[in-house]
């Protein structure tokens, strides 16, 4: 076949059919429905904006940025501050454009386009999506009836398949619970590949595996600034051994953390006292909302260690639409199988939570 023939065959098929792999074409993209509601309880973000004094410092810092220049390619100052706040050596820290980017960097580094990625299900969908995009094989293992890890099944799969990467989100999204620490510890000790404990919500559980990184060379911890007040900055943090970090750093795009995010994150982390206050308030509100949700007959609410509550309704689609009519947006996970009629509500300000709870009362008593 001449190159001219090849070109006309490609043209006949169309560029997508001829050049985009079937695997990519089969993927359902990560999508967040854009519905404008006054009360936004769908994204697991913090409902609180910056205190005025910190906002002033941020405004001043932004004025000093030279946006005609590239950012610091290594985000050195920000890494130093993260190291100080987390009490973790800076050579074991890597920053990403959200932890989403770090998930991609881990899969690229450890699977080289053909390895295996194991994740319990239901869990954060980006593990599977990113692994598929990068040509890795995805091994899914259902969580048990309490949404904890099914240890026997996962250990069997690890033994049979020797996955390169295992993603364990604890607390898990969307179910909200932590996995048993002893089960995670056992997986870390048995697995020959890398175990990623994604602690995106650990500020709300008060539990972390971070100190174990020094002892376990196959353990990686992921954290993010997104859930505690700074989702717009897109700062994810990876903690691992120095050796592993220097390999993962090779697949990082240059300047992945832009100047504005670097500067603003530096200021908020240097003034982070207000963050722990907002976390405490969210935890108190979470427990209050959980109590009320659990008292509603037609709802089954699951205990949460995160900044959101996962629950099952009788008819999730109808409840979702009725809440939207009342200007309240939550997340609807309804699909056949384990997530049938399942929904997730992010904890908002006390006023937003009150509005959500009274909307539920109105819906269920009308
Ligand atoms: N991990 C988990 C478990 C999450 O729920 C999320 C956000 N939905 C992320 C990672 C991604 O966070 P980031 O905003 O840092 O990309």
Residue 209 dihedral angles phi and psi, to the nearest 5°: -95, 5
| Domains of the chain and CATH, by start | 31-49+274-365 (3.90.1150.10), 66-272 (3.40.640.10)
Among 152, 168, 150, 169, residue whose Cα is nearest residue 160: 152
As a whole number of angstroms, the distance between CA 344 and CA 361 comes to 17
Q: What is the pLDDT of residues 214-237, one digit of tens each?
A: 999 999 999 999 999 999 999 999
Q: What is the pLDDT of residues 236-258, one digit of tens each?
A: 999 999 999 999 999 999 999 99
For residue 97 and ligand 1, the question of a CB distance below 6 A is answered with: no
- Token digits for 28? 């359902």
pLDDT of 206 reads 93
pLDDT of 201 reads 98
Please tell me the distance between residue 350's alpha carbon and the centre of ligand 1 in angstroms.
Answer: 24
Helix residue ranges per DSSP H, 142-299: 151-161, 181-190, 242-248, 259-270, 273-295
Please tell me the distance between residue 224's alpha carbon and the centre of ligand 1 in angstroms.
Answer: 7
Please provide the distance, in angstroms rounded to a whole number, between the alpha carbons at the two ends of the chain: 70
Please tell me the distance between residue 226's alpha carbon and the centre of ligand 1 in angstroms.
Answer: 7
pLDDT of 10 reads 59
As a whole number of angstroms, the distance between CA 205 and CA 189 comes to 23
Q: What is the pLDDT of residues 21-45, one digit of tens each?
A: 888 898 888 777 789 999 999 999 9
Contact 229, 267 (CB under 8 A): no
Which of 171, 226, 237, 331 best tests ligand 1's pocket when mutated (most atoms within 8 Å of CB)? 226
pLDDT, averaged across the chain? 95
Distances (CA, A) of 160 to 116, 163, 192, 193, 356: 12, 9, 12, 13, 46
For residue 98 and ligand 1, the question of a CB distance below 6 A is answered with: yes
Contact 180, 172 (CB under 8 A): no
**The pTM is what?**
0.94
Q: Kindly write down the DSSP assignment for every residue of 286-311, as one continuous string.
A: HHHHHHHHHH-TT-EE---SSSEEEE
Q: What is the pLDDT of residues 119-168, one digit of tens each?
A: 999 999 999 999 999 999 999 999 999 999 999 999 999 999 999 999 99
For residue 170 and ligand 1, the question of a CB distance below 6 A is answered with: no
pLDDT confidence band for 366 (50 / 70 / 90): confident
Sheet containing 137-142: which strands, arranged edge to edge?
93-97, 235-239, 219-224, 194-198, 165-169, 116-121, 137-142
pLDDT of 211 reads 96
Q: What is the pLDDT of residues 291-349, one digit of tens each?
A: 999 999 999 999 999 999 999 999 999 999 999 999 999 999 999 999 999 999 999 99
């Amino acid at each position: 076949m001449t190159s001219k023939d090849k070109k006309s065959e490609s043209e006949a098929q169309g560029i997508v059919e001829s050049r985009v792999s079937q695997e990519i074409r089969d993927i359902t993209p990560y999508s967040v429905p854009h519905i404008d509601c006054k009360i936004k309880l769908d994204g697991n973000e913090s409902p609180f904006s910056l205190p005025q004094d910190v906002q002033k410092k941020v405004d001043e810092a932004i004025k000093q940025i030279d946006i005609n220049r590239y950012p610091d390619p290594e985000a050195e100052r920000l890494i130093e501050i993260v190291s100080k706040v987390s009490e973790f050596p800076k050579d074991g820290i890597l920053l990403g454009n959200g932890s989403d980017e770090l998930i991609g960097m881990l899969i690229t580094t450890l699977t080289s386009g053909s390895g295996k990625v194991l994740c319990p299900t239901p869990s954060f969908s980006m593990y599977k999506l990113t692994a598929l995009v990068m040509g890795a094989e995805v091994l899914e293992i259902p969580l048990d009836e309490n949404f904890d890890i099914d240890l026997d099944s996962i250990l069997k799969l690890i033994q049979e398949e020797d996955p390169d990467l295992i993603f364990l989100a604890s607390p898990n999204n969307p179910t909200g619970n932590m996995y048993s620490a002893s089960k995670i510890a056992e997986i870390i000790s048995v697995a020959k590949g890398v175990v990623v404990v994604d602690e995106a919500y650990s500020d709300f559980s008060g539990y972390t595996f971070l100190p174990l990184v020094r002892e376990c060379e196959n353990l990686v911890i992921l954290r993010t600034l997104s859930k505690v007040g700074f989702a717009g900055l897109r700062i994810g943090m990876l903690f691992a051994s120095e050796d592993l970090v220097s390999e993962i750093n090779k697949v990082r795009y240059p300047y992945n953390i832009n100047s504005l995010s670097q500067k603003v994150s530096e200021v908020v982390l240097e003034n982070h006292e207000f963050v722990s206050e907002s976390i405490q308030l969210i935890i108190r509100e979470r427990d209050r909302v959980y109590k009320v949700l659990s008292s509603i007959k037609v709802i089954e609410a699951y205990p949460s260690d995160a900044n959101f509550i996962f629950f099952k309704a009788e008819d999730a689609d109808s409840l979702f639409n009725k809440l939207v009519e009342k200007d309240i947006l939550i997340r609807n996970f309804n699909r056949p199988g384990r997530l049938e009629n399942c929904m997730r509500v992010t904890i908002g300000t006390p006023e937003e939570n009150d509005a959500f709870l009274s909307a539920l009362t109105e819906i269920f008593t009308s």
